[in-house]
Amino acid sequence: MEFAVALPVVAVVVLGILQVVLIGRDQLAVEVAARDAARAAIVAAAPGAAARSAAERTTTLRPLDVRVTTGPTTVTVTVTYRNPTDVPLIGSAIGNVSLSASVTMAREPP
């Protein structure tokens, strides 16, 4: 009897943990994509195109929103991804999660 009562609660907790792990994995991928995009942008003549290309090569997450802000001595790249939370029960309860990472690096001279 106790098992029948506890099983749904345990199942929801396990699904919640799984969803958190998947979101964490995707956040790490977004952070790596932002770092690689900034690294590509600091040495490129066209920082926006270089950043987008580098971010898309780094991760399979799609669609990525890559924004580049160029200053006199720095380049800031912000990568945003809307994570579809699709774990049963949990995903529909929390909805999609927006993940983003921003990296600023010093420009390298041409």
What pLDDT is recorded for position 57?
97
The CA distance from 57 to 48, in Å, is: 14
Q: Look up residue 84 and give its DSSP letter.
A: -
Q: List pLDDT tens digits, range 18-40.
A: 999 999 999 999 999 999 999 99
Which residues constitute the domain of residue 28?
Answer: 2-106
Give how far Cα 59 sits from Cα of 16, 26, 66, 77, 100, Å.
24, 9, 13, 15, 14
In angstroms, the CA 68 to CA 61 distance is 19
- Residues 83-95: tens digit of each pLDDT: 999 888 888 888 9
Average pLDDT taken over every residue of the chain: 94
Residue 110: the pLDDT is 67
| Beta strands per DSSP E along 1-110 | 64-70, 74-83, 97-106
* Tally of domains within the chain: 1
User: What residues contact residue 42 under an 8 Å CB cut-off, 6+ apart?
Assistant: 75, 105, 106, 107, 108
Contact status, residue 99 vs residue 80, Cβ threshold 8 Å:
yes
